[in-house]
Structure formats: C-alpha cells, structure tokens
Amino acid sequence: MSVLNKIRVIEFADGVPGPLAALRLSDLGADVIKVESKDGDWLRNAAPALPNSEMSAAFFELNRGKRSVVLNEKLTLAALLKNADVFITDRTPEELAALGVHGIDAEPYVVNPKLVRVGISFWGDRGPLRLNKGSELAAQAMAGYTRYLGSRDAPACRLGADVACAGTGIFAVQATLAALIARVKSGVGQRVTLSLLNSLLALKSIHLAAQSDPDVYAGPRVGGANYPPERGWKTKDEPIFFAFGGSVGAEGRPGWVKFCEEAGFNRLLDDPRFDKIGRDSTGYGIQVQQLRAEYEREFARYSAEELVALIRKHAGNAASYQRADQALDHVQTRALGVVQEVAAAGGAKVRVRAFPARFSNLKPELKGIAPTLGEHNKAVAAELA
C-alpha cells in the first residue's frame, strides 16, 4: 500500500533540502513533478557521475523516480499548481511572482485553496537576513556547529556531513505530512516555512539545553569544543568507540570489571584512577582524556573486531570506526535492507538508500531512473490539458 498514491507534489527546488523532501514523499507513493529552469538543477552537474553515465550520482540519489519539466509559455508554474496537492520550493515569493505565481504566501492560496506550500530558505521568511544568500557552511557557522569539532584554542571546523540541508529535508517531510493531515480535517492547505538555520538549531536542542547554565560546563553535550576531536581508541588495527557505565545499586554494573578481567587488563582494575563501572573513563566520561592512553596500551594486543566482541559480551557499547563502504555492506545494514538496487538508464542497476523507516503494513516504493532535463514536458502538458 502506498499511502500517498493520490498526492501530486510539485518540486521547484535545487540541491539537497527540497529534492530530499520530495524524494521521501515519492518513496511513500506521491507523484513528484520536478520543475527546473532551462539550465537544470545545479546538482545535475556535481561530481562524481554514475558509472558509464553523465548523470551526477548525487542528483540520481535525490531525484530518482521523479518527472522533470522545464517551464515555457505553454507549461507554466501557475498551471502546474492549480491541481497539485503539495508545492515544495526554495524560491522566494518575489521570484515566484516573476514567473506568474502571485499570492503564494497568502492564506489561503486563492488559485488552489487545498495546496500545501512548503517554502525552504537559508535564513527564514522574516527578519533582516530574509533575502540574503546562504549555504550549508554559512548555516553551520551561524548556528555554532563549527565549534563542535576541533578544540577551544584551534580554528573552527565544519561538520563534514551536510546536516543543515539533510535536516531541513527531513523536517520538510514531517511538516508536509502534518499539513496534509490538517487538510483532511479542515479541507484547506496551508503555508509552511523552514530554514537551514532553524533546522540546525532544532537539531541542537539537547546541546543548547545542556549549555543553559553558564556556571556548569560538563557532560557529553557540551565538551566538543573543549576536547580534542574524537578519533576513537587505538587498537592493533582499527580504532573503536566503547562505553560502559550506569549506576545500578551500590556497586554499579559489573560489566566493566568482567571485561577487564577477561581481557587481562588487571592493571586497570588495580589503578585507583579508574572508577569500577567504567563510566568516567569510557565513552564521553569526564576522565577519558586523562586515561585514554592507559587503555590504548592494553588495546594494542587486540584487533578492533576482538575488542568490540568482548565489550559487547559484557554489556558494553562498542563499534569499530568504519569507512562508508564498510558501513553499507555490514551484516546489520544488510539485515535492515538499508541499501537496495533500483533501475537506472540503459538497464543498469544503482544502489540507493531505502526509506529509513520500516512499517508493518506499509511498503515504500523505491523508484528508479532519474529524469533527464525536461523529459516529461509533453506528458505533463497533456495531463494539464
């Protein structure tokens, strides 16, 4: 069952946030028409390309299964919106008005009162920065994310992942579904606005809460800028992350002690600097920086795989640091069906990431073949007529 199989989405957005949101709605069954300028979404030309193809791998990932149209005198944006259910865009109301779409920010939208309008911007739809240009990196800097890497006295660092763009895409899906549910009750759509800045601050909620007392600056939520970058605990081969802890009864959990005993780390058990449940010296504990080297002296005898298995045996939390290809091929990833194959042009198969939720009675539909620029102009124009 495709829950959105009668929903038509018009996407007029480039890059990541809007296309990601529309992709996830497509996975749930929506018919997505991607509107592009004559030059196309800039992501079409982003390296690298798919094997034996000129199409960007990133563009394919975010736009598979959609239909592409290029606006012209016969196929206008206003005409597309007349019978649509959802409109996702990163253009301003002023830019849309120049294309003949007026009153898109009015409530309701007179031309199509049922239309759910999702507007995505860098800084939001109000305030002094409303019309300013922005980017993933600019949003990270303004939201303070560049201070979660590196150390307090070193230059700021960006997060390697595009958390602002991806987070905004995720929030846009949530907002769209909420607006569609509200439409069932009210019979009318509404306008929803999101920004990269707001998304980052929302993702940072737990950190901001932990930093609310200026006299207390401790704990796993606030230490990023005060400690060296977390690169894991060194082993004989690959680094690992591991954590024990939790206070249960007078003695706490016995896992850390049993782990040290079985691994032959009796020296650590006899060292008064180590608490006897491992909470302070593992994970994000307050003594990790001081005691990490003591663990690594012992870990040098073991491989990452051996240590992870032993830590998990004694109810600890552990994982090896993996490359992206290792993560995608991990037995746990395969068990969840995270990576699946879809069709690409010419009959080729491309591995993509499936819809991230698993349902008991709903099966997301992973569509393949990303459209060429303007590929569906004739078909969509015929439907409008």
> What is the rounded radius of gyration, in angstroms, for the C-alpha atoms of the chain?
25
Task: Over range 278-284, report the average pLDDT.
Answer: 90
Distance between CA 342 and CA 330 in Å, rounded?
Answer: 20
Distance between CA 89 and CA 12 in Å, rounded?
Answer: 5
Distance between CA 38 and CA 30 in Å, rounded?
Answer: 25
Domains of the chain by residue range = 8-204+336-384, 240-320
In whole numbers, what is the pLDDT of the chain averaged over residues?
90
Q: Which helix (H) or strand (E) holds 34?
A: strand 31-36
- Report CA-CA distances (Å) from 73 to 38, 78, 99, 102, 206: 13, 11, 10, 17, 49
Cβ-based neighbour number of residue 324 at 10 Å: 7
DSSP letter string over 343-383?
Answer: E-GGG-EEEEEPPS---SS--------PPPTTTTHHHHHHH
Q: Is 140 exposed, middle or buried (0-12, 13-18, 19+ CB in 10 A)?
A: buried
**Res 327: pLDDT:** 92
Percent of the chain whose predicted confidence (pLDDT) is above 70: 92
Q: Return the closest-CA partner of residue 196 out of 169, 231, 234, 227.
A: 169
**Res 216: pLDDT:** 64
The conformation of residue 87, written as its DSSP 8-state character, comes to E
123 is written with which tokens?
A: 């800084």
Distance between CA 182 and CA 70 in Å, rounded?
Answer: 31
Do 116 and 192 meet the contact criterion of CB atoms below 8 Å apart?
yes
Q: Return the closest-CA partner of residue 374 out of 31, 33, 8, 48.
A: 33
Asked whether residue 2 carries a pLDDT value surpassing 80, the answer given is no
Q: Return the closest-CA partner of residue 241 out of 294, 295, 286, 201.
A: 295
Domain boundaries 8-204+336-384, CATH class:
alpha beta
Handedness of CA 113, 71, 174, 206 (dihedral sign): negative
Model confidence pLDDT, tens digit, residues 72-84: 988 999 999 999 9
* pLDDT-based confidence at residue 206 (cuts at 50, 70, 90): confident
3 state SS of 118:
strand
Asked whether residue 34 carries a pLDDT value surpassing 60, the answer given is yes
Count how many residues are written for the chain.
385
* pLDDT-based confidence at residue 214 (cuts at 50, 70, 90): low
Model confidence pLDDT, tens digit, residues 140-171: 999 888 777 766 677 777 888 899 999 999 99
* pLDDT-based confidence at residue 307 (cuts at 50, 70, 90): very high
**Res 245: pLDDT:** 78
Task: Over range 207-211, report the average pLDDT.
Answer: 72
196 is written with which tokens?
A: 């990269």
Task: Over range 306-321, report the average pLDDT.
Answer: 95
**Res 215: pLDDT:** 67
Asked whether residue 323 carries a pLDDT value surpassing 60, the answer given is yes
Lowest mean pLDDT among 37-41, 72-76, 211-215: 211-215
Task: Over range 294-321, report the average pLDDT.
Answer: 96
3 state SS of 307:
helix
